[in-house]
Amino acid sequence: MTKELGMTFRGDMVRALIDGTKTQTRRPMDPQPKGFPGWWPHEEITPTGKWVGNTWHWASEEHFRRGAPDVEPLKVGDRVYVQEELRGDGQPGNKRVGIMRYGLDGEMVLPCSTCGWVFCTEGADCGAVVDTTWEYDTPTIRPSEMPLWASRITLEVTEIRAQRIQDISEKDAISESVVVPRCGFAAFWNSFYPGSWERNDWVWAYSFKVLEVKGRAA
């Protein structure tokens, strides 16, 4: 069964998705493998002494690279809704309902029950009705807090690889939409995950295609 979930992206990476220059993203594995041969994900024991969750034994690093994508919850063909920063006119102690704009370009996000879209960027010109089920009282909504109905970009996963972050190639770095390929990717990566490049952490490398940018075909 195809799954649908959200994934956060910074503003400049959202622009790259819209422009078609970003077709890969990497995210650290959590938890990190402790070594091979060994178990991953690691076992956990409750106070009653029971094992929690599933775990697999990996004979070698190469075995892990080949097999880990099979146990990653996200699969090829799954859909990802891009979560990005939103901004609104709410203020602490003065809640406003449903009025939001994308932080990247200021386009309005407004749920609409008239045009049949989950949300409509035309606002009142389309006779939109505000969704009163979600309120905010802050002028900035972080990507991780963005409700999925407000997502305007839908991705489809086309490949998943298990690799160490320093395995990234020049071609991969370009697909990550880094202006200065691989040599600049370390600084880019550490800006999100300090020290991760030096540790050479394990990551999920996702390739994807843009299925839709709301309001126009991808």
- Beta-ladder partners of 216: 213
- Taking the whole predicted model, whether its pTM rises above 0.85 is answered as no
Place of tokens 């843009």: 210
Q: Domains of the chain, with CATH numbers?
A: 4-81+153-217 (2.30.130.30), 85-147 (no CATH)
* Backbone CA torsion sign across 131, 133, 139, 145: negative
Strands 51-52 and 100-102: unpaired
> Which tokens hold the place of 105?
């370009």
Per-residue confidence in pLDDT tens, the chain, 218 aa: 777 899 999 999 999 999 999 999 999 998 899 889 988 886 555 555 554 567 888 999 999 999 999 988 899 999 999 999 988 765 555 555 456 788 898 887 755 545 544 444 444 445 544 444 455 556 788 899 887 777 899 999 999 999 999 999 999 999 999 877 778 899 999 999 999 999 999 999 999 999 999 854 34
Residue 14: Cβ-neighbour burial (10 angstroms; 0-12, 13-18, 19+): buried
> Which tokens hold the place of 13?
């990476």
